[in-house]
Chain A
Amino acid sequence: MRQRLVRRYAAERRFRRSGLAAVVLSIGVLAFLLMSMAASGWRGFVEQRIALPLDVAASASAGEMEDAVAMAAEAAYGADGLDYISESAWKTVRDAFRADSSLAGTSVVIPVPVSSTLSTALRGSGPETLVAAAQRLDAEGKISTHLNTHFLTGADGTDPSAVGIWGAFKGSLFTMLVTIVLAFPIGVLAAIYLEEFAPRGRWTDLIEVSINNLAAVPSIIFGLLGLSIFLNTMGLPRSAPLVGGMTLALMTLPVIVIAGRSAIKAVPPSIRDAALGVGASPVQAVAHHVLPAALPGIMTGSIIGMARALGETAPLLMIGMRAFITTPPDGISSPSSVLPVQIFLWSDEISRGFVEKTSAAIIVLLAFLLAMNAGAVYLRNRFEIRW
């Protein structure tokens, strides 16, 4: 008797310990992932600038300014000077003049972005002479580190020091918007109809099985579907968030229907009886009582489905969202990229400077995802009903 008791407690302790170990392990893996991302990604959010003394007239045109900046670089750093500054350095000068017009026409020192070769050299890789030059410049205090605002406001490009994530971020935002506007109402209505009104029978069973299967179809198949229907048959614009959103809506729809049905099923039937009992029509019973009670569950399920859609790459490649697009989209029908595709494209670049941009873009995507999941938790807690 005593022995059995001892064994039982031992088993209990073992079970708890292994549970704890599993949790610690998964937290550890997650922390490692986040830390390695942050370690290599933070550089993507900053840029190094080199001090550039110059004197440009206020009336200089864009071309004149570009020439003036190039000449100033050569004057300050010799023949190699032009290699030290980024191609878009003159834009920084222009912006600085715009921000403070008293600077123009006087001798000023403006920190301008370094070229990606110099930035690589500053980190100690690349040709030895350049690395040595970089170290010398750094020791002389010519190099400073700034927040890379262009990364947060620009779009894709060929020069890794001048690319931005805003274009892809906006593309993802528009795509998600289209997806949610299409998939949420349709999915919820379908779930309500199937759960509350559809006659039970072979057809309903067939539909149920089909929906469950659709949720398990590989996403690239939805991309093919989008390609052949939305692009080839309907002739919608290629590479646009509209089509991307529609394709992802197809993919998310079954997830929302399934989440919706189980949330509706979890509402106690006594609530329906109560509503019908005071003379509510079936639609009123659903709209006034069942749906509000099921909404937190529906929203949680939908946001998880949306989060999956946000991370999708394959179906969007099929509908042309891998195009090289250098301006942020200004609507759902203008060509655009999305975050996961942008990450995929940058990770494919050979140029060294893109590595940190890739990590930085992953951080942005993870932040987006975290925000969405936090939203899901908030909505659930806000609207949850305790029986």
Chain B
Amino acid sequence: MTAAKITARDVSVYYGEKQALESVSIDIATEHVTAFIGPSGCGKSTFLRCFNRMNDTIIGARCTGRIELDGEDIYGAEMDVVQLRARVGMVFQKPNPFPKSIYENVAYGPRIHGLAMDKTELDRIVELALTRAGLWDEVKDRLSESGTSLSGGQQQRLCIARAIAVDPEVILMDEPCSALDPIATAKIEDLINQLRGRYAIVIVTHNMQQAARVSQRTAFFHLGKLIEFGETSELFTNPRAEKTKDYITGRYG
């Protein structure tokens, strides 16, 4: 086991009085893609959103426990949340490009973080991000068109490019394919495979085949608890917990 990029210890999340996540501990490494699976409502998204503090934007949401990014407490006083979100990018369930040009979508992050000295450098960053997201060839002649004019799958890859453009260390993906058709899904899965190792990737999915295809580590959640966490192949062929077995054999969920 190599040094973990993110370590979470005893993380619990409350929405008002309601506890959505109970004392979850997990290590996330850069070289693996980590998948979160579990029945709907079990707290996968909630947990994922702790890593870039997106839960901060929800009124009444509260997080206890400790999450470290490279040993720094992300809920600590010296952690700037804007800086954190530049280091931990996120791709959402529904593709949500800005209603601006394709170029502007990708350039926005680098621009607000001051990553480019001049236009040439910004152009280079945009091209690199779009290339890594596997979208460059499809859009290089129409960079000034609106991001919302792309197809659903292209929009989602544009969102991935937007996340990549600020050169994050971690990319969180919350069911990135749930709104896409199978062909677009396959492209995103390919892309995840290519990005593995460069970024620590955490993907939430309700699709077990997808988890099996793209991830090397899988965490199974149930009713706000982490039931089992281990190598993907191990978890799917030889689950230790009874609940995991029930879930992957399709007895519920």
User: Measuring CB to CB, which residues of chain A are less than 8 angstroms from any residue of chain B?
Assistant: 200, 268, 270-281, 284, 288-289, 293, 385-387
Count residues on chain B whose CB falls below 8 Å from chain A CBs: 27
- A200 neighbours in B (Cβ, 8 Å): 59
B159 contacts partner chain A, Cβ-Cβ < 8 Å: yes
- B108 neighbours in A (Cβ, 8 Å): 275, 278, 280, 288
- B82 neighbours in A (Cβ, 8 Å): 279-281
Is B83's CB under 8 angstroms from A279's CB?
Answer: yes
- A268 neighbours in B (Cβ, 8 Å): 96
B86 contacts partner chain A, Cβ-Cβ < 8 Å: yes
- B112 neighbours in A (Cβ, 8 Å): 278-280, 284, 288
Which of B59-103 touch A at CB < 8 Å?
A: 59, 82-86, 89-90, 92, 94, 96-99
Of B59, B84, B90, B94, most A-chain CB atoms within 10 Å: B90
Of B84, B112, B159, B165, most A-chain CB atoms within 10 Å: B112
Flag B33-65 by CB within 8 Å of A: 1 or 0 each.
000000000000000000010100101000000
Is A278's CB under 8 angstroms from B96's CB?
Answer: no
Is B98's CB under 8 angstroms from A275's CB?
Answer: yes
B113 contacts partner chain A, Cβ-Cβ < 8 Å: yes
Report the Cα distance A275→B98, complex, angstroms: 8
- B92 neighbours in A (Cβ, 8 Å): 270, 273-274, 277
Is B59's CB under 8 angstroms from A271's CB?
Answer: no
Is B52's CB under 8 angstroms from A277's CB?
Answer: yes
- A272 neighbours in B (Cβ, 8 Å): 57
Some 23 contacts from A to B, beta carbons below 8 A apart, are: A200-B59, A270-B92, A271-B99, A272-B57, A273-B54, A273-B96, A274-B92, A274-B96, A274-B159, A276-B54, A276-B85, A278-B85, A278-B89, A278-B112, A279-B84, A279-B109, A279-B166, A280-B82, A284-B112, A288-B108, A288-B112, A385-B99, A386-B148
- B59 neighbours in A (Cβ, 8 Å): 200
Q: Which 5 A-B pairs have the closest CB atoms?
A: A270-B96, A278-B109, A279-B86, A279-B85, A277-B90
Q: Looking across the interface, which residue of chain A has its beta carbon closest to that of B91?
A: A277
Q: Looking across the interface, which residue of chain A has its beta carbon closest to that of B53?
A: A276
Q: Looking across the interface, which residue of chain A has its beta carbon closest to that of B110?
A: A278
With A270-B94, A270-B96: A277-B54 Cβ-Cβ less than 8 Å: yes
- A125 → B minimal CB distance (Å): 63
Determine which of B54, B99, B166 lies in contact with A387 in the assembled complex, contact meaning CB atoms within 8 Å: B99
- B163 neighbours in A (Cβ, 8 Å): 277-278
- A278 neighbours in B (Cβ, 8 Å): 85-86, 89, 108-109, 112, 162-163, 165-166
Report the Cα distance A271→B57, complex, angstroms: 13
Report the Cα distance A271→B109, complex, angstroms: 14
Q: A271-B98, A288-B112 are in contact. List 4 more A-B contacts (CB 8 A).
A: A270-B92, A274-B96, A277-B85, A278-B166
- A276 neighbours in B (Cβ, 8 Å): 54, 57, 85
Is B162's CB under 8 angstroms from A387's CB?
Answer: no
- B129 → A minimal CB distance (Å): 11
Report the Cα distance A280→B84, complex, angstroms: 11
User: Measuring CB to CB, which residues of chain B are less than 8 angstroms from any residue of chain A?
Assistant: 52, 54, 57, 59, 82-86, 89-90, 92, 94, 96-99, 108-109, 112-113, 148, 159, 162-163, 165-166
- A273 neighbours in B (Cβ, 8 Å): 54, 57, 90, 92, 96
Is A279's CB under 8 angstroms from B113's CB?
Answer: yes
Q: Looking across the interface, which residue of chain B has its beta carbon closest to that of A293?
A: B99
Report the Cα distance A280→B90, complex, angstroms: 13
Is A387's CB under 8 angstroms from B148's CB?
Answer: yes
Report the Cα distance A284→B97, complex, angstroms: 16
- A38 → B minimal CB distance (Å): 43
Q: Looking across the interface, which residue of chain A has its beta carbon closest to that of B86?
A: A279
Report the Cα distance A146→B20, complex, angstroms: 81
Q: Looking across the interface, which residue of chain A has its beta carbon closest to that of B84?
A: A279
Is A274's CB under 8 angstroms from B54's CB?
Answer: no
Report the Cα distance A276→B52, complex, angstroms: 10
Q: Looking across the interface, which residue of chain B has its beta carbon closest to that of A200?
A: B59
- A270 neighbours in B (Cβ, 8 Å): 92, 94, 96
Report the Cα distance A386→B97, complex, angstroms: 12
- B108 → A minimal CB distance (Å): 6
- B83 neighbours in A (Cβ, 8 Å): 279
Report the Cα distance A305→B108, complex, angstroms: 34
Report the Cα distance A275→B112, complex, angstroms: 10
Report the Cα distance A293→B97, complex, angstroms: 13
Is A274's CB under 8 angstroms from B97's CB?
Answer: yes
Report the Cα distance A281→B80, complex, angstroms: 10
Report the Cα distance A278→B84, complex, angstroms: 10
- B8 → A minimal CB distance (Å): 19
- A274 neighbours in B (Cβ, 8 Å): 92, 96-98, 159, 162
Of B59, B98, B163, most A-chain CB atoms within 10 Å: B98
Report the Cα distance A387→B152, complex, angstroms: 12
Report the Cα distance A279→B54, complex, angstroms: 10
- B253 → A minimal CB distance (Å): 26
Of B96, B109, B162, B166, most A-chain CB atoms within 10 Å: B96
Q: Looking across the interface, which residue of chain B has its beta carbon closest to that of A384?
A: B99
Q: Looking across the interface, which residue of chain A has its beta carbon closest to that of B172?
A: A277
Q: Looking across the interface, which residue of chain B has its beta carbon closest to that of A272?
A: B57
Q: Looking across the interface, which residue of chain B has its beta carbon closest to that of A274?
A: B96
Report the Cα distance A273→B54, complex, angstroms: 8
- A271 neighbours in B (Cβ, 8 Å): 96, 98-99
- B94 neighbours in A (Cβ, 8 Å): 270
- A180 → B minimal CB distance (Å): 26
- A277 neighbours in B (Cβ, 8 Å): 52, 54, 85, 89-90, 92, 163
